Structure 1
């Protein structure tokens, strides 16, 4: 059975909006036309996708299953089209997604090492926000990404570039600010909670970048744990950095779209390993999981 992508896109819109009216507005089509398209899709595949009432539209169990499978498939199609368009550009560059303050201090050397690779493609940096890297890979808006764990692994492959120690960022009037080193228990967290706490603080305070996070630390609103390379490059008044001796290391990876066969991306990955080894950091390894 072959189903065209358009009715599947209609289906996704209705599922996400939980309303035919809102979905029709989002898609820019008439409500009756959308309803007919969904009924035709249900008839074609032989299952009921929605339970319809006067107030709400709910997915059936087959509908939920279809949504889980269709959404990434449509994203992959869109990404393939975008990559094809970008590949046709007369002055094409590989796009490397990086958050401005989260490259492990390797970015400049990585770009230089990549340029030295035989037949290397030009690399342009695509600056992005917190946890945005792998979405850009899946949508075809970037070819590779430098990011710290944790990251969303769906649809991407990755190699470990480097591991580095982490430090606590504390307000300078904090009781531990003058310590030579501390332990996670001093911060009231365990090793398993380090990344979870950071994510929670970012979401709770609406943090968009490192400057905002460090401003909150300086005000005494929060404390956080950061890669040591960040502390070295971003001294801030009102913020003290203290090594945390039992904290799991920060893990920097280079990621790319799964099933990519780009020689340029392969050269970028090799260069990342070369740069990390030249800095005495961990060698490249598998980052899956």
Structure 2
């Protein structure tokens, strides 16, 4: 770790309200993501000169160089990369606090629960029924999301609690309770030469050149490199499998939602999928605690 990077960590671990302002973090994130002062200023709806001065002031305050400025390009220094990561987390925490505060002040108390559409369907139904039967239970609004969206909504404060699935979702930074573990299966188009296999290994799955695994979007919206098709949701994926354009590893519980034009092959050495209920570690909501207790009882 370079000296500049270490200095950013030290300063950021201090009371950062005495070091940098939220406004400055937003400015820096825009410049760091655009790598262009003009585009960043347009994104922030401000003029370029005050934006440039704000970034220079931030560098002086931190005592580090955050950006390498060339005539035609801007790049992040090592310290700038650290600050970009930490600033995103800090801004997400501020936005989450604002959303949760407004929701706590609502006239009608309730919870918002996020879950991936189609996942944990039986568990979710049992959970909502059991929770509604408890005395004093609040209303639960269910937000059905695409792959990877539930985690982001929980981090930015849009929802109070979520059903997540490891290893698909990252649960670092949340309090969690494991609810159940299941194996993964390979989903193929019906009639494929491998559809009658009793099982397959992960090594075999990765070598299926005629049926590549799909590529899901990352958190920033980009897709990883690879031969498989880009997919956004479960419906799109199942159609691609039916057309013979892809295969997919899925939790075994999704078997009941597949159609006759799909075939299932167990993959014993695939990573197990753990469904967890997750909530912010600083939550003091009685309703969240009650819902978690209900989930762990099921």
TM-score range, shorter chain: 0.7 to 0.9
Structure 2 counterpart of 1:149: 166
Structure 2 counterpart of 1:207: 231
TM-score, normalised with respect to structure 1: 0.84
Which of 262, 267, 272 is the equivalent residue of 2:295?
Answer: 272
> 2:216 & 2:37 partners in 1: Cα distance?
36
Q: Which consecutive residues of structure 2, in runs of 5 or more, have no partner in the other structure? A: 1-17, 218-222
- Name segments (4+ residues, structure 1) moved above 3 Å: 185-190, 197-204, 242-249
The answer to whether structure 1 residue 216 and structure 2 residue 268 are counterparts is no
Please report the RMSD computed on the Cα atoms of aligned residues, expressed in angstroms: 2.3
The answer to whether structure 1 residue 177 and structure 2 residue 195 are counterparts is yes
Alignment of 1:2-151 (within 5 A): 2-150=19-167, 151=169
Contact 2:151/2:170 (8 A) holds in 1: yes
What displacement does 1:242 show?
3.3
Q: Which consecutive residues of structure 1, in runs of 5 or more, have no partner in the other structure? A: 191-196, 276-289
What is the count of residue pairs matched by the alignment? 267
Structure 2 counterpart of 1:287: none
TM-score, normalised with respect to structure 2: 0.81
Structure 2 residue matching 1:205: 3-state secondary structure: coil
1:13–1:168 Cα change, 3 Å: same
Could you report, residue by residue, the CA deviation over 1:37-96 in whole angstroms, capped at 9, with x for unpaired residues? 112222223322222122112222332222222220111011101111111111232111
Which of 240, 243, 255 is the equivalent residue of 2:278?
Answer: 255
The answer to whether structure 1 residue 166 and structure 2 residue 184 are counterparts is yes
> Larger relative CO (CA 8 A, sep 6+): 1 or 2?
1
